[in-house]
Amino acid sequence: MAVDGVRIRLSDLFALDQHAPPASLSTVRLLQHFQSIASATLGDSTVQHVMSSHVAHNSWSQPYTMHMLLAVSSAHLQRLTRASTTPEESRRSTLAEAEHWHNGLALYRAALASPASRNPTAHNVDALIGTTFLSVIFAFALEDQIPANAFLTNYDEAVAHALSPLAAGSGILALDHAVPMQSAVAWMPVLRKGNDRVGTYTDQSPGTAGLPPAFVRLCGVDEQSCAVNNEYHSILRLLAPLLRLERSVEHFTKLIAFGGRTFGLFRPLLRKRDARALLLLAYWIALLRQLDQWWLNVRVRSSCAAIVTYLRTVGDPGVEALLAFPASGGEGGYEYLWDSPVEE
């Protein structure tokens, strides 16, 4: 398809969004970059296939998907060309990236609130799911570098930054309540990888079975503990099976799904400066390092460093004793979590 033809089609699509400017040649290049390069860098092999074969296609009928796609493509391109880009070019790219993100998010929310979302087609459900995955990726990539003293200088702002990808991930759960997820065709293989047939990754069994002894002691969990009487128990139940996985990018969906499942659990704890909850969040962030994604790596390193710097000041020996894995930025091991069994 000729460049001018693509630009005209993009302009026609964006005409559905009254706030979007006409498509430029740079916008066309971002679309081409996503289709040829960026889509192959997102998630595991299943996600990459869906991104390249379905998301790029669906974006032509859903402006919110196109905007999110272009925001992610711009973020990837900026990282590839950072060394050869002038400050003015970088500024323009950042502004365009933010504009696509803002427009995509606004249109996405409007689509969820529209009457049509109550009786969606499989095509629309796939578009909504694809846009949610793109929003999670962009939430990680956005402002991925934070200073090591971030939690010391402005705790509330640092918490909001840490929770933003979890909030984006919770969009999958929100979709599950808003639209019939079973209607998804393209994304169903990805969604199935978020759990196994026996529900290991959503298990909420009471007690301590299967939980790392070090976390059991730290969080005061016993055989009667459950989500009702221990505020850490649900998080530990969801985190424990991830800690037993072999390191592989093919666990992408399981690892990312944890963020969406725990957003509502972490938020009240972190708002009251709960050091144990922040430590558990740091373990999940460090686990993401195994995915080795361009939109994750910098954030994992800087977020872990900032959390560890803060936790070393809170004066909790139990927390400080378990900082090794997040302090390594996800590069080290965490076998020590199982070294000392819980005394009966």
- By CB atoms closer than 10 A (0-12, 13-18, 19+), residue 255 is buried
**At a CB cut-off of 8 Å and minimum separation 6, what does 134 contact?**
55, 65, 68, 69, 71, 72, 104
**How distant, in Å, are the alpha carbons of 31, 38, 131 from that of 35?**
6, 7, 15
Mutual orientation of helices 252-271 and 155-178 as an angle, nearest 10°? 130
- Report the SS3 class of residue 146: coil
Q: What values do phi and psi take at 63, rounded to 5? A: -55, -35
Do 74 and 97 contact (CB within 8 A), yes or no? yes
pLDDT in tens, the chain (344 residues): 433 444 444 455 455 454 544 445 578 888 899 999 999 999 999 999 999 989 988 888 888 999 999 999 999 998 888 777 788 877 877 888 888 888 988 998 888 887 766 667 777 888 889 999 999 998 998 877 899 999 999 999 999 999 999 999 998 888 877 776 776 788 999 999 999 999 999 999 999 999 999 999 999 999 999 999 999 999 999 999 999 999 999 999 999 999 999 999 999 999 999 999 999 999 999 999 999 999 999 999 999 999 999 999 999 999 999 999 999 999 999 999 998 665 54
Q: Among all chains, which residue has been given the structure tokens 């002894």?
A: 213
Q: What are the boundaries of each domain within the chain?
A: 3-142, 191-338
What tokens does 315 get? 């004066």
